[in-house]
Amino acid sequence: MSIDRFLNKHRSWEDWFGMLLGLLIILSPWLTGQANNGLGANVDPGMPILNAVCVGVLIFGFAQLEYIVLRRWEEACEVVLGFWLIASPHIFGYAGGGTLRLWHTALGGIVILLGVLTLWQDWDLSDDELARHGQ
């Protein structure tokens, strides 16, 4: 199988991978050990945790929607959420250090790459072809 053929078709593993990314984002404050006080003296730990949970739930939900009924707006929303996740450490003030910032930057980048890939794969498909995805 050539790499070109592999990248040109939206596959269900991409949707499952998006759901896994959503779960990792939800759990990221606890996996990094920074859920309680590891974010810095001036940072309220509630906002980064709430942000991670909300963004993770949305990414999980959009990936699940893609698995069921594929639409381009779901993929575009994932790309936007990936950019939001990358910007979150700067917005909520935990960009100074720590592994949570690195996790959110890396996971946000992966979400963007996956969203752009799936959007590119589905760009030329008709609405009927999108509706048949997964069947």
pLDDT for 74 equals 86
Mean of per-residue pLDDT scores for the chain: 82
pLDDT for 4 equals 57
Q: Does the pLDDT at position 72 exceed 60?
A: yes
Q: Does the pLDDT at position 82 exceed 90?
A: yes
Pairwise pLDDT comparison (49 vs 121), residue with the higher score: 49
Q: What is the pLDDT of residues 114-125, one digit of tens each?
A: 999 888 877 666
pLDDT for 117 equals 87
Q: Does the pLDDT at position 6 exceed 80?
A: no
Report in angstroms the alpha-carbon separations of 15 from 62, 67, 102: 9, 6, 24
Q: What is the pLDDT of residues 50-62, one digit of tens each?
A: 999 999 999 999 9
Mean pLDDT of 10-22: 85
DSSP character at residue 7: H
Q: What share of the chain in percent tops pLDDT 70?
A: 74
Q: Look-up: residue for tokens 């991978």?
A: 17
Burial class (CB in 10 A: 0-12, 13-18, 19+), 89: buried
Taken as a whole, the chain contains a residue count of 135
Domain boundaries, the chain: 12-36+47-126
Angle, CA 119 vertex, CA 117 and CA 120 arms, to 5°? 65
DSSP 83-132: HHHHHHHHHHT--SSSHHHHHHHHHHHHHHHHHHHHHHHHTT--HHHHHT
